[in-house]
Copies of this chain bind each other. A is one copy, B any other.
């Protein structure tokens, strides 16, 4: 690697960030990608989908962070077992590096979908998630990382070319549209929007924020806070071009590709209100404050687990 030169014996590692690239030809160039997943439950479908991704494994690093709860213990056992199979298997199938962290703050005990989504618990919960994401990011990003893919551990289905597809748009931040499979009224398999954190700012959203106390937050997807923000989830067109891009102001954490320089410049997941936004939504705002553009692909779907 021409951006790295080492003295004998690895006493000193030298990296030239000028020569480190994040390009649409990432797979061909073997640009290093770091796939980061906070994970409280281990789903076989998530792992199977991850293993189907076609990006070169020797340029892929994985990072996980788990809560220190009984649920986290359970997930850790399954994760370690799954990893061991791959990393002791054929050399060509192994990931370049895998890091597992246990959080040092307490996770919320109940992670049932209903409890989890109560507006009142969102602030504490998302602060906790933001700190988890930051711990993972700050400790696993390397001087040679070109790309970071944030992939939630309950994203169980995506095109196998997910990484290349998101990278091909060559944007600082690019978010996929998170849907969910379910059975509709007629008992037929159908799909519906899941993640409402990919959005475009609205007049109303700005007005709400302006009238809030300093440490209040706007969270998207709650009737109590009617922001009328255009949500990427609603822009899906099943006959539309899968490459259609839209500019966003907030992103979720489902499947988001980030050029590593965006993080290296300082963009993290604010655990405190940042322009009245926190966690992944606050991250989008921070990326924009640093001068980067944030995009989403309304017609590019990945699927969230259905509990």
Contact = CB atoms under 8 A, between A and B. Distances in A.
Given A130-B266, A289-B272, A101 B11 contact: no
Contact of A101 (B17, B104, B135): B17
Interface of A: 7, 9, 11-18, 20, 68, 80, 83-84, 87-88, 94, 97-104, 130-131, 134-135, 137-143, 145, 261, 263-266, 268-272, 289-290
Contacts of A139: 15, 141-143, 145, 264
Nearest to A271: B266
A13 B269 contact: no
Contacts of A142: 139
Contacts of A101: 15-17, 143
Given A131-B266, A138-B263, A290-B271, A99 B7 contact: no
B12 A100 contact: yes
Nearest to A87: B11
A138 B15 CA distance: 14
Contact of A84 (B7, B103, B140, B261): B7
A45 to B, nearest CB: 21
A159 to B, nearest CB: 27
23 contacts: A11-B83, A11-B84, A12-B83, A12-B99, A13-B100, A14-B80, A15-B101, A15-B102, A16-B101, A17-B104, A18-B68, A18-B104, A20-B104, A104-B261, A134-B264, A134-B265, A135-B264, A137-B138, A138-B266, A139-B141, A139-B264, A271-B290, A272-B289
A145 B135 CA distance: 12
